Amino acid sequence: MARTSQSWGLRTLKIGFMSLVGLSVAFPVYWMVITSFKPNSEIYQRNPTFYPQAPTLDAYVALMTPHGTRAPFVATMGNSLIAAVGSTLVSVIIGIFAAYALTRLRFRGREAFSGLIFGCYVFPGILMFIPIYLMFQWLGILDTFFGLIISYQIFGIPFATWMLRSYFATIPASLEDSARIDGCNRLQSIIYVTLPLAAPGIAAATIFTFTAAWNEFLFAQVLLQKPQYQTAQVALYSLLNGDSVAWNQLMGGSVLVSLPVIVLFFAAQRYIGSGLTAGAVK
């Protein structure tokens, strides 16, 4: 009897704790969504309302209308998409071959090189943006998506390589040996055998590099000065510049920016899970 009540108590405690954590995660999201549907007058009321009294799409309409130097928000999202997709493709493709080389080929300095990649990955990007700005200026690639995509490789390639390396290590090398005897050259053995088996790892690396690039603010702000290249993150920030902040627009923009990432995560949830586990056990 005592045991039952004790485990009941423990259960309640667990559920209570998880509800608290769940609530603290979900509430800001809920607040963001409902705020985006409120008129600004309601937001600035003395007593906050927990659901929109008079739901309106005004904030979204305003976002889509160009304002000052700010492009329509959907255009800035398009810019973000170009930067994020471009950067993800480059990171993941280079990451795949780098990770393959680091797990499968024997060469002098392999371990040192692996360590160096990890070092790059953990090095704070903020320390580099001034030298990178100067370098890009010299190269004449400021205010180009190309330049931004290159700058995203600073964290993208090391991240994708590191993640895929631990995934590739879980794929038995004998499968590639077998493929090479079956008639593949090395590249074919990668394409027919290694890549299909590494699909979960590649999906996970893709999602994480995409999210990192999509959410990136600092380099996008510094390297792209022209309004027509503004990314969504920078556009969101520009909404804060003004005498009165249009919170409903800021939250509406936040909702729109979250959507692609949420969709991507749900679509690939299965892969991310297995991708992470595979990396964790090695």
Partner 1 sequence: MAAIEIRNVQKSYGNLQVIDGLSLDIEDGQFVALVGPSGCGKSTLLRMISGLEDITDGEISIGDRLINNVAPKDRDIAMVFQDYALYPHMTVAKNMGFALKLAGESKEAIADRVHRSAKILDLTDYLDRYPKQLSGGQRQRVAMGRAIVRDPQVFLFDEPLSNLDAKLRVQMRAEIKELHQRLATTTVFVTHDQIEAMTLADKIVVMNGGRIEQLGTPLELYDQPESLFVAGFIGSPPMNLIHGSVGFERGRAVLASDHGPVLLLPDAQTLTQGQRIVFGFRPEHLHIVADEAEGAFDCILNVIEPTGAETQVNAWFGPKLITAVFRERHDLSLRQKIWLNIDLRRTVLFDEATGLRVR
Binding site for partner 1 (CB under 8 A): 172, 174-175, 177-185, 188, 192-193, 196-197
Maximum alpha-carbon separation in the chain: 77
Please report how close the Cβ of residue 162 comes to partner 1 at its closest, in angstroms: 24
In the bound state with partner 1, the residue whose beta carbon lies nearer, of 179 and 232, is 179
In the bound state with partner 1, the residue whose beta carbon lies nearer, of 188 and 274, is 188
Contact between residue 161 and residue 102 where contact means Cβ atoms under 8 Å apart: yes
Pick from 108, 218, 107: which is nearest to 154 by CA?
218
In the bound state with partner 1, the residue whose beta carbon lies nearer, of 26 and 182, is 182
Contact between residue 42 and residue 52 where contact means Cβ atoms under 8 Å apart: yes
Q: Which stretches of 37-144 are DSSP H helices? A: 40-43, 58-64, 73-104, 110-122, 129-139
In the bound state with partner 1, the residue whose beta carbon lies nearer, of 177 and 225, is 177
In the bound state with partner 1, the residue whose beta carbon lies nearer, of 181 and 280, is 181
Contact between residue 147 and residue 255 where contact means Cβ atoms under 8 Å apart: no
Distance CA 155, CA 31 (A): 32
Using alpha carbons, list the distances in angstroms from residue 56 to 29, 61, 62, 63, 257: 18, 10, 11, 13, 19
Which residues, in sequence order, are CB contacts of 224 under 8 Å at separation 6+? 79, 142, 143, 145, 148, 230, 231, 234
Distance CA 203, CA 211 (A): 12
- Amino acid at the residue 112: A
Please report how close the Cβ of residue 142 comes to partner 1 at its closest, in angstroms: 45
In the bound state with partner 1, the residue whose beta carbon lies nearer, of 91 and 194, is 194
CA 23 to chain centroid, in Å, comes to 23
Distance CA 5, CA 9 (A): 6
Please report how close the Cβ of residue 271 comes to partner 1 at its closest, in angstroms: 14
Residue with tokens 């090479």, as numbered in its chain: 180
In the bound state with partner 1, the residue whose beta carbon lies nearer, of 81 and 197, is 197
